[in-house]
A and B are shown apart, each in its own frame.
Chain A
Amino acid sequence: EVQLVESGGALVQPGGSLRLSCAASGLRFSDHKMDWVRQLPGKGLEWVGRIRWRRDSDTTEYAASVKGRFTVFRDDSKNSLYLQMNSLTIEDTAVYYCVRSDVSGYFGTWGQGTMVTVSS
């Protein structure tokens, strides 16, 4: 069974930084595209960013709202995905989900989420 477990969510001040982690098990991690999706409080879902697999040189894609501030990266040797978030604003307050994506790009398996609160 595929399991994704996020960690690292916290309360952080505006302008601060935070790194989220996602530990994956039950899959050949290096074979999968991985995404971060967030959900603002009481709102819908918003895709944050994607990292492809090694044979695609771990290339990344980002939503415009986070491009230049957030970085998705992975360590296949640790079966782990990361989201480095810099220059955080109040609008980044959300539950952040780690997601395994299918080769065709749809979101297949979701983690349980980790809460990030940006507040002074």
Chain B
Amino acid sequence: DIQMTQSPSTLSAFVGDSVTITCRASQSISTWLAWCQQKPGKAPKLLIYKASKLETGVPSRFSGSGSGTEFTLTISSLQPDDFATYYCQQHAAYPLTFGGGTKIEIK
């Protein structure tokens, strides 16, 4: 199975900060990586697919990069609506697997 490791698990930041979350795959997954956002009590929502492609309707302050085994999600200028938990997900091979999540908290 491909293990997905996210870091940090928790991140505290101010509104307006730029933050970066890292996701590492235990083996190469090319760019078969997606990022989603989940708010408490809600379903996850797709943000980024194919490592760097922004889903329709997602603000441009979200960006993704990387290939192979190392990927990043960057949120430039954090907004109050962005405080949530973020997950990476690989879809290169079965079983499909998620990272453990990164919770972004208000500092």
Which residues of A are at the interface with B, using a C-beta cutoff of 8 A?
35, 44-47, 50, 61-64, 97, 101-102, 104-113
Contacts and interface: CB of A to CB of B under 8 A. Distances in A.
Contact of B34 (A97, A107, A113): A107
Contacts of A110: 43-46
Nearest to A102: B49
Interface centre among B50, B87, B98, B101 (most CB of A within 10 A): B98
Given A44-B100, A44-B101, A45-B87, A112 B43 contact: yes
Contact of B43 (A44, A46, A61, A97): A97
Given A44-B101, A109-B46, 17 more contacts: A35-B96, A44-B100, A45-B38, A45-B89, A47-B95, A47-B96, A50-B94, A50-B96, A63-B95, A64-B95, A101-B91, A104-B91, A106-B32, A107-B36, A110-B46, A112-B42, A112-B43
A102 B36 CA distance: 14
Given A45-B98, A47-B95, A63-B95, A113 B46 contact: no
Contact of A113 (B36, B43, B89): B43
B97 interface: yes
